[in-house]
Amino acid sequence: MKAAVYTRHGPPEVVRVTEVPKPVPKDNEVLVRIHAATVCAADWRMRKAEPSLIRLMNGLLRPAKARILGIEFSGIVESVGSAVTAVSAGAEVFGTPGFQFGAHAEYICLPEDGVLAPKPANMPLEEAAAVLFGGFTALHFLRKANIQAGQNVLIYGASGSVGVFAVQLAKYFGARVTGVCSASNLELVRSLGAAEVLDYARQDFSSAGPVYDMVFDAAGYSGFSRSLRALKRGGYYVTVGGSGRILALLAGILRSAWTNATGVAKVFGGVAAGNREDQLFLKGLIDAGQLRTVIDRRYPLERIAEAHHYVEAGHKRGHVIILMDQPAT
């Protein structure tokens, strides 16, 4: 099968489309022919080993475990292992291999009880590829920050993969949402349910003083002091994005510990997680018409390096997808 493989860390061009053996499902596994997969922040960070702590996870000198990137996909079940009972060939599914990656390929195997489910009924198969990375991250951190109906929640970086879901989910949980993004994305963020939208180049979200119950930074640019100025005392400051550089991480840990200890705000970040239950929760919202995804660009697999360039630049609207069956033009 064709797959996008990288054998060293570096720029997008280290990712090469090549032939690799087609996976064979074990007894408990499902073989999916991938229709679409996203290229997202996790992919370029793994490729570049940025932050460098990624090397501890995937090989110190070169990628050792995951050599095919791609953390979320949609596709059609091709065949199943002998012990699989709940899934059958022909089903349209969406899923994630998590940090094992592997979705930038024509086929992938997942365990039957992995994060794999029938795609949302009213969503095209290609869009279903772009639900879990941003959706899990937004859901994880909103829940961890104990989101409540009636709260004032600011989503910084409201137009990216995480942001588009954070805006919609915060609204679903009953919050009044302010979205911060660039001028070209104001209408998009408003259409996702934000009551107010701010252009980060022209408006300072902290100028109104401590009015927010939560500042959810999905971009890594909200600024620690500015975010605390905008938060009510004891509010939540959620730092999802960020450079990941060791010094910045250490400074963040110290400032967070101090802020948490003094009761000024509750600050946290970390790595998001999601499971099958969360997947079905998101699918239910999509089926009910309460959640959608946003596709910015589509690329054929052969042009995946271009997709990496675009995504790494950090200004996509929602998601970028790779279509496996689309011929290169």
Ligand X SMILES: NC(=O)c1ccc[n+]([C@@H]2O[C@H](COP(=O)([O-])OP(=O)(O)OC[C@H]3O[C@@H](n4cnc5c(N)ncnc54)[C@H](OP(=O)(O)O)[C@@H]3O)[C@@H](O)[C@H]2O)c1
Per CB under 6 A, the segment of 120-128, 145-153, 158-166, 259-267 that binds ligand X is 158-166
Question: Would you count residue 163 as binding ligand X (CB under 6 A)?
Answer: yes
Rounded Cα distance between 191 and 243, Å, is 29
Structure tokens at 259: 């802020």
Q: Binding of ligand X at residue 221 (CB under 6 A)?
A: yes
Closest approach of ligand X to the CB of residue 327, in Å: 27
In whole angstroms, give the CA distance from residue 193 to residue 197: 10
268 binds ligand X (CB under 6 A): no
Can you tell me which of 38, 96, 152, 161 binds ligand X, judged by CB under 6 A? 161
Among 59, 81, 220, 252, binds ligand X (CB under 6 A): 220
Contacting ligand X (CB under 6 A), which of 85, 271, 327, 328? Answer: 271
Using CB under 6 A as the binding rule, whether residue 240 contacts ligand X is answered as: yes
User: How far is Cα 17 from Cα 70, in angstroms, rounded to an integer?
Assistant: 13
Q: What Cα–Cα distance (Å) separates residue 187 from each residue in 10, 142, 198?
A: 35, 23, 11
Token readout for 35 is: 């229709």
State the minimum distance, in angstroms, from the CB of residue 188 to ligand X. Answer: 9
Residue ranges in 24-83 that form contacts with ligand X under rule CB under 6 A:
40-41, 45
Residue 167 engages ligand X in binding (rule: CB under 6 A): no
Which position among 16, 143, 245, 315 is part of the footprint of ligand X (CB under 6 A)? 315
Instruction: Give the burial class of 6: count Cβ atoms within 10 A of its Cβ; 0-12 exposed, 13-18 middle, 19 or more buried.
Output: buried
Q: What is the edge-to-edge ordering of all strands in the sheet holding 212-217?
A: 196-199, 176-181, 152-156, 212-217, 231-239, 265-268
CB of 80 or CB of 240, closer to ligand X = 240
| Tokens, residue 153 | 């929640």
- Which residue stretch of 13-21, 51-59, 87-95, 156-164 sits at the interface with ligand X (rule: CB under 6 A)? 156-164
Closer to ligand X by CB, 27 or 187: give it: 187
- The window from 61-69, 118-126, 280-288, 312-320 that contacts ligand X (CB under 6 A) reads 312-320
| Burial of 125 (C-beta count, 10 Å sphere; 0-12/13-18/19+) | middle
User: And the tokens for 236?
Assistant: 């939540």
Q: Which of 15, 68, 147, 181 binds ligand X (CB under 6 A)?
A: 181
Binds ligand X (CB under 6 A): choice among 175, 272, 286, 294: 272
Q: Measured in whole angstroms, how far is the alpha carbon of residue 86 from the centre of its chain?
A: 27
- Which residue is it, tokens 């110190």? 60
Structure tokens at 293: 């995804």
Footprint on this chain of ligand X (rule: CB under 6 A): 40-41, 45, 137, 157, 159-163, 181-182, 185, 200, 218-221, 240-241, 271-272, 314-316
